[in-house]
Amino acid sequence: MATRLLEQYKWTKDGRKWIFYTWVPTLSGKRKKYTSKAFKTKKEALNAERDFISTIGYLNEDSSMTFKQLYTAYYAYQEDKVKLTTLKTYRDRIKYMQLLDNIKLKGLDVKYYELWRKEINKLDISTAYKNDIQKFIKIVLNWGEKIYGFNFRSFYTKITKFTNPNEIKKEMLFYTLEEFKKFISFEDDIKYKCLFETLYYCGLRRGEARAITWNDIDFENKILKVNKNVLQIDNDDSKKYMITTPKTQSSIREIPIADVLLNDLKELLSIDIKEYGFNNDWYVFGDDNPITNGKIRRRKIRICKLSGVKQIRIHDFRHSCASLLINNGANITLVAKYLGHTKIDETLNTYSHMFKSKLNDIVSTINKLT
């Protein structure tokens, strides 16, 4: 293996110019050249080279690599290349692939896929999620082709999307402003009141809301800074967590704070300041540790029962915010920015049904002009 400085015309715009390359064994007994992506420094390339060595170590002389060994190698290869939330998604999907664990890749046959598909179809998960799991399997196999020289083309031709014509698409639930006001009127704890108001009026993801510290609130300019995320480890009641970057770069944003929320946050701050050990690094919804997912969920269930409004998920408060903005004429570009979506398409695809009435308004405008 070796590292090499690329010719200057091959340098990337952000200064990546070092690569490593090597020859890796394939199942046919021949070797093929592998060239890495570019890195900014020679040290980064050397570190990536060491990681790569550990992954190709799985391919032994009798070519007996199993599917489990392949996705274990893939996970190890990705550990320093993707976000922690992405790695958690990988871990969450491993349990759905265990039926393939001991299958030797050299003898991977469509019959194993059909057996796996039959078992997956028995599970009470959505068709979309089944296809997400299947897509991840293909990603792992594609990586295996690139790194080890496997050929899964005949296998791929047998992979088809899961479909269920009888599946009823789950309706997107949300609170109207009137429903939310009824819900929040039964909340007598100022901390939870601020939490639910932040979810509803600011459209934050749950992990983003849990990560807010007092340093993130600019009371003078009425601005909330969203710049981190709480990643839950273990179960919803566990106090084990990690602070990560938000979901995407676009998720890092500044949101204007509505007056009703700003006043409640000021009241909450005055109460928290009286607590022993308080400082501005404290979590707004917690103390020196963020509130757990379990506490949020149980509180939401309780207030729904007390107020008599329908039960919705915590993430549906975000949908409620989108509905509130869209149905009151907010510009789609601003809605996307407010919610931290990377592209307007994401907003349109998620909330397309909410824009139907707006499309009718456009036609009415044309009719008036003609």
Q: Is residue 198 within 8 Å of residue 261, measured between CB atoms?
A: yes
pTM greater than the 0.95 cutoff = no
- The secondary structure of residue 244, as a DSSP letter, is E
State pLDDT tens for residues 209-261: 999 999 999 999 999 999 999 988 878 888 888 899 888 889 999 999 999 99
- The two beta strands, 241-244 and 229-232, are antiparallel
pLDDT class of 47 with cuts at 50, 70, 90: confident
- Where are the alpha helices (H) located in 249-351, listed in sequence order? 259-273, 293-307, 316-326, 332-339, 344-351
- Rounded to whole angstroms, what are the CA distances from 133 to 75, 94, 98, 100? 15, 9, 12, 13
Average pLDDT over residues 106-129: 88
3-state secondary structure of 354: helix
Q: What percent of the chain lies above the pLDDT cut of 90?
A: 42
3-state secondary structure of 312: coil
Q: Is the pLDDT of residue 49 over 70?
A: yes
Q: 184-363 is classed in which CATH architecture?
A: Orthogonal Bundle (1.10)
Q: Is residue 210 within 8 Å of residue 290, measured between CB atoms?
A: yes
- The secondary structure of residue 330, as a DSSP letter, is -
Average pLDDT over residues 342-360: 74
Q: Which residues are CB-neighbours of 81 under 8 A, at least 6 positions away?
A: none
What does the domain layout of the chain look like in residue ranges?
2-156, 184-363
Give which of 273, 263, 269 is closest to 216, Cα–Cα.
269
Tokens for 55, please give them.
Answer: 């992954």
- The secondary structure of residue 310, as a DSSP letter, is P
Provide the CA 279 distance to its chain's centre, in angstroms.
30
What pLDDT score does 61 carry? 41
Q: At residue 230, what are phi and psi to the nearest 5 degrees? A: -95, 120
Q: Is the pLDDT of residue 340 over 50?
A: yes
What pLDDT score does 255 carry? 94
Give the C-alpha separation, 335 to 348, whole Å.
10
Average pLDDT over residues 322-343: 89
Give the C-alpha separation, 169 to 192, whole Å.
31
Q: Locate tokens 């807010």: which residue?
A: 212
Average pLDDT over residues 86-94: 88
